[in-house]
Structure 1
Amino acid sequence: MQPSMAAVVSLLLLVLLVPATTAFNITKILKGHPEFSTFNQYLTETHLANEINHLQTITVLALDNSAMSSLLSKGFPTRVIRNVLSLHVLVDYYGAKKLHQITDGTTTTASLFQSSGDADGDAGYVNITDMHGGKVGFGPANTGDLNSFFVKAVLEKPYNLSIIHISQVLDSAEAEAPTPEPSKVNLTSLLSSKGCKEFSHLLTSTGAQKTFQENIESGLTVFCASDSAVKAFMPKFKNLTAGNKTAVLLYHGVPVYSSMSMLKSSNGLMNTLATEGPNKYDFTIQNDDESVTIKTKVVTAKITGTLVDEDPLAVYKLDKVLLPRELFKPSATPEPASSPEAEAPGPDAADGPASDEDDDVADSTSHKKKNNAAGLINGGGILALGLTLCYCVLAAL
């Protein structure tokens, strides 16, 4: 019997739209597994749950309540527990079948601890070894020890989410190392020591560092231009009024913590420390695979490195100084943009200096809330494909 046209169309749309939904909520998933209640609690308290939910491909090495009790008995502050648990979040998919089919029997994969910028060398990587006979071992790659073992698969959603129960906490001295309290972090000293000395100097000389420092405890993301980028920008900076100099610097801070994984999974406008009343002073976050850029109406800067990524503070290095449209005129030759919103020209500032696009200053280092436009774009592509296939089917009928 020939299927009806309506049935065919419905089936095609269902098949096409279901794969587009890859979002998940790790907290809700683990609520159905009381043996992981403490682990689930600390994923929320350390804000790792939010990062996990933003990722498209991930493996969570879940610790049962007994293993978590062993970890908590050490009396670590929450920020250290975050580092330890972030080592148990792998940025790749490993289901039970894949664990037992590892090429050459062993592999090394990155964790969220590695991407945080707090892991030295290969301390943020996890070694996975198929020991055969159904046994799979896990351990920090820098130690060579396999101190935890595969117990069972809790949930698998190939190839986006895998939750695996492992026997005990991965033993890592680097993850357990003490970290300073956020309120005690000296931001300008941190910037100076990690390749943003010139930017740090400008914060101090203008007094803008006070605003940055006051926002750390409640959540702060800083985008610091590299030393070479600041030096190239200084002729323009010197021509600004004192108030506008401060505004440019505050434009490099966002009053909310955004991890690298959050930046990589979202696109959209972000307010800054300079945003006040009618003065928008916002910019657009855009990502393309592993590359994250910040686009104003005047300049596009690329994130070239992570200096700090530990809630509530994240600091990223840029290859250019961010130029707000409120103070600088758009370039005569605008850069290619990936969205109509990004292509729209901004208003010229009446009293601000004109700006040509800054020359690319490559840096040797290579490593208020956002709307996830990426999902909308991907969904639009899938819908277009679906409509095309529907048309073909209807034509055939």
Structure 2
Amino acid sequence: MATSPLSLVLLSLFLSLSLHAQAQAPAAPAPAPSGPVNFTAVLVKGGQFVTFISLLNKTQTFNQIENQINSSSEGMTIFAPTDNAFSNLKSGALNGLSQQQQVQLLQYHMLPKFYSLSNLLLVSNPVPTQASGQEGVWGLNFTGQSNQVNVSTGLVEVQVNNALRQDFPLAVYPVDKVLLPEELFGVKPPSASPPAPATKGSSSGKSNSSDTAAEPSPGKNSAGGRNVALGLIFGLGFVSVGILS
């Protein structure tokens, strides 16, 4: 069946109108940029970090963390101790720390760089923490294989098997033990004891020996006395002979 000229005209007009409408349609909006990372929300969603959140608030560390997460090009990695981890500490372990030491303890759980679990197996130990640069090393050591990572402080070792969040710029890994740094919880070396004072006996002994060494020999003194006496006798004898003659 032959196509009529009118059909061809209508078809051409329809195609032209369709192309024009597509050209005039607005472009799809670009995806909105993601907002700042809310570290607090990550912990709250985890549901077992009440003590950790309380310490972060008490020491005013929360704001510092979120500012660094959202301004640093390196990101951050945080090991979050669970409530059970804190409850397993010795009684008074936290209360025995000053506010500055509590801040150092929290900073010891933070790496100033984003690490996935697989990246942690490639690091050079010890890895600096946010507490590094102060007195001591304040580093963490990582070993393991596959997706199982062991983190050690020298006093404590714990496995890291999963993540609360593992998207740049923030990685958060729950841990079942509080990471105790040797700089705060290690055995302190004993201080050097002062030298023992000299005894009276030894000092008196030294003075006696020196006194003895300083005294003249009695033998020499007695011989000298005899010589003088003999000289006087001979002298008197000669004087007497002179007078008699």
* 2:199 pairs with 1:244: no
* 2:50 pairs with 1:197: yes
* 2:30 pairs with 1:75: yes
Partner of 2:110: 253
Among 38, 53, 62, the alignment partner of 1:209 is 62
TM-superposed deviation, 1:193: 2.1
TM-superposed deviation, 1:277: 4.0
Relative to structure 1, the CA distance from residue 349 to residue 204 in structure 2 (aligned partners, 3 Å threshold; closer, same or farther) is farther
Q: When the two structures are superposed, what TM-score results if normalisation uses the length of structure 1?
A: 0.37
Structure 1 CA distance, aligned partners of 2:68 and 2:189? 28
Q: In structure 2, the residue corresponding to 1:323 is in which secondary structure? A: coil
Structure whose residues are more often helix by fraction: 2
Structure 1 CA distance, aligned partners of 2:94 and 2:134? 24
Partner of 1:287: 144
Structure 2 CA distance, aligned partners of 1:292 and 1:349? 31
Q: Deviations over 1:146-205 (max 9, x none)?
A: xxxxxxxxxxxxxxxxxxxxxxxxxxxxxxxxxx53xx2231232122132221111111
Contact 1:266-1:287 at 8 Å conserved across structures: no
Structure 1 CA distance, aligned partners of 2:172 and 2:162? 9
Among 188, 203, 220, the alignment partner of 2:76 is 220
What count of residue pairs does the alignment treat as equivalent?
158
Among 299, 305, 313, the alignment partner of 2:156 is 299
Whichever of the two has the greater Rg, that structure is 2
Structure 2 CA distance, aligned partners of 1:185 and 1:305? 19
Q: In structure 1, the residue corresponding to 2:84 is in which secondary structure? A: helix
* 2:178 pairs with 1:325: no
Runs of 5+ in structure 2 lacking a partner?
1-27, 191-245
Partner of 2:6: none
Relative to structure 1, the CA distance from residue 222 to residue 190 in structure 2 (aligned partners, 3 Å threshold; closer, same or farther) is same
Contact 1:328-1:349 at 8 Å conserved across structures: no
Partner of 1:177: none
Relative to structure 1, the CA distance from residue 210 to residue 280 in structure 2 (aligned partners, 3 Å threshold; closer, same or farther) is farther
Relative to structure 1, the CA distance from residue 280 to residue 207 in structure 2 (aligned partners, 3 Å threshold; closer, same or farther) is same
Structure whose residues are more often strand by fraction: 1
Percent identity at matched positions? 27
TM-superposed deviation, 1:244: 0.6
Structure 2 CA distance, aligned partners of 1:289 and 1:303? 11
TM-superposed deviation, 1:291: 1.4
Q: In structure 2, the residue corresponding to 1:305 is in which secondary structure? A: coil
Partner of 2:38: 186
Contact 1:189-1:200 at 8 Å conserved across structures: no
Letter in 2 for 1:305: N
Q: In structure 2, the residue corresponding to 1:236 is in which secondary structure? A: coil
- Report matched runs for 1:70-109 at 5 Å: 75-76=30-31
Provide runs of 4+ in structure 1 moved above 6 Å.
none
Partner of 1:314: 171
